Amino acid sequence: MRNIKLVLEYDGTNYHGWQTQPDLPTVQGAVEEALTQLTKTPIQIIGAGRTDTGVHAEGQVANFHTDSSIPQVAFQKGLNTLLPRDIVVCSVTEVDADFHARFSATSRRYRYTILNRPYPSALLRHTAYFYPAPIDLKSVNAICQSIVGKWDFSSFQKTGSDRLNPVCKIFEAHCWKVDDCVYFEIEANSFLRGMVRAIVGTILKCTKHASGNIENACAQFHSILEAEDRALAGPSAPAHGLSLIRVEYND
């Protein structure tokens, strides 16, 4: 059996997340349906990240096993013909038999986009969170730097999650602004369900309450982090501002 790796880009607006759900449109379901049409046999795929409803991806990775002899280029062209226009296959690669899109990953990087100006955008309404209040970038970046390392992120885990180990290692986190958009990126070895959106919402809450005092903003955030209690964190930022940017693997 061949093991095929896909890199996918998608607009998650019209989907109930990545993972297949009965009677609901999902990205995984759409890709599996296209693969089944292409290979004339049922195909199940494995995704690197289970993005939630409305979340996007620029670099989602998936793999599947098949005995089809279809060339890699034909897989890409065929899938992009069959898939809806809001899902695109960026690359197709044949990989080793033991490659697993989820468990072989060494890190994942997410970006959250905030439209930070007094009025909303008709063009960015599906990809950026409209937040008109001022954002203190110095305080945000101070918090970002303070969470690099290994932490228990229970305070930022979606209620009802079944993950037993809430410890994640953050490799990098930072924030910057270009024109009217503020971008927050974070890379870690793994993420809890809803973690990035909860972190963004809590950072906005803490920096707003601290009114420019960087030490107070960091202290507020870390008191929430160390409490390991989701009820103390801020509201999750909306799903449509989030995108899975990249998944890394050891060569």
Is 14 in the same domain as 64? Answer: yes
Domain boundary among 31, 61, 95: 95
Give the Cα separation of 39 and 129 in Å (integer): 39
- Residue pair 204/235 in contact (Cβ under 8 Å)? The answer is no
User: Do the Cβ atoms of 28 and 18 come closer than 8 Å?
Assistant: yes
Do 122 and 223 belong to one domain?
A: yes
Q: What is the pLDDT of residue 64?
A: 98
- To which residue do tokens 């885990």 refer? 157
Averaged over 43-61, what is the pLDDT? 97
Same domain, 55 and 86: yes
Please tell me the predicted confidence (pLDDT) of residue 161. Answer: 76
Boundary of a domain, candidates 72, 95, 118: 95
**Residue 181: inside a domain, yes or no?**
yes
Are 149 and 115 found together in one domain?
yes
pLDDT by residue (tens digit) across 94-128? Answer: 999 999 999 999 999 999 999 999 999 999 999 99
Q: Rounded to an integer, what distance in angstroms lies between the CA atom of residue 44 and that of residue 26?
A: 13
Residue 63, domain member (yes or no): yes
Residues 81 and 145 in one domain: no
pLDDT value of position 212 = 86
The answer on 221 and 165 residing in a single domain is yes
Verify whether residue 52 is a known catalytic residue. yes
116 and 87 within one domain: no
Can you list the pairs that 19-23 forms with residues at least 24 positions away whose Cβ atoms lie under 8 Å? 19/47, 19/50
Helix (H, G, I), strand (E, B) or coil at 98: coil
- pLDDT for the residue numbered 167: 97
Let me know if residue 101 belongs to a domain.
Answer: no
Q: Are residues 38 and 113 in the same domain?
A: no
Whether 102 is covered by a domain: the verdict is: no
End-of-domain residue from the set 60, 95, 130: 95
In a domain, 88, yes or no: yes
Complete DSSP assignment for 122-171: SSSTTTSEE--S---HHHHHHHHHHT-EEEE-GGGSPTT---S--EEEEE
CATH, residue 150: 3.30.70.660
- The total of other beta-carbon atoms located within 10 Å of residue 116's CB is 19
Q: Would 68 be classed as within a structural domain?
A: yes
Both 237 and 145 in one domain: the answer is yes
Indicate if 157 and 192 belong to the same structural domain.
yes
Residues 135 and 243 in one domain: yes
Q: How many CB atoms lie within 10 A of CB 225?
A: 22
For residue 185, the cross-strand partners are 111, 174
Q: Residue 182: what residue type? A: V
CB contact at 8 A, 93 and 202: no
Q: What is the CATH number of the domain that holds 26?
A: 3.30.70.580
> Does residue 2 register a pLDDT over 90?
yes
Read off the pLDDT of residues 211-248 as tens digits, 9 standing for 90 and up. 889 999 999 999 999 999 999 999 999 999 999 999 99
Residue 45 lies in a domain: yes
Question: Is 100 a member of any domain?
Answer: no
Residues 122 and 90 placed together within one structural domain of the fold: no
Can you give the residue range of the structural domain that contains 59?
A: 2-95
pLDDT computed for residue 147 by the predictor: 97
| Candidates 52, 67, 96, 229; catalytic one | 52
The number of folded domains in the chain is 2
**What pLDDT band is residue 163 in, cutting at 50, 70 and 90?**
confident
Q: Residue range 129-141: average pLDDT?
A: 97
Tell me the residue type at 249.
Answer: Y
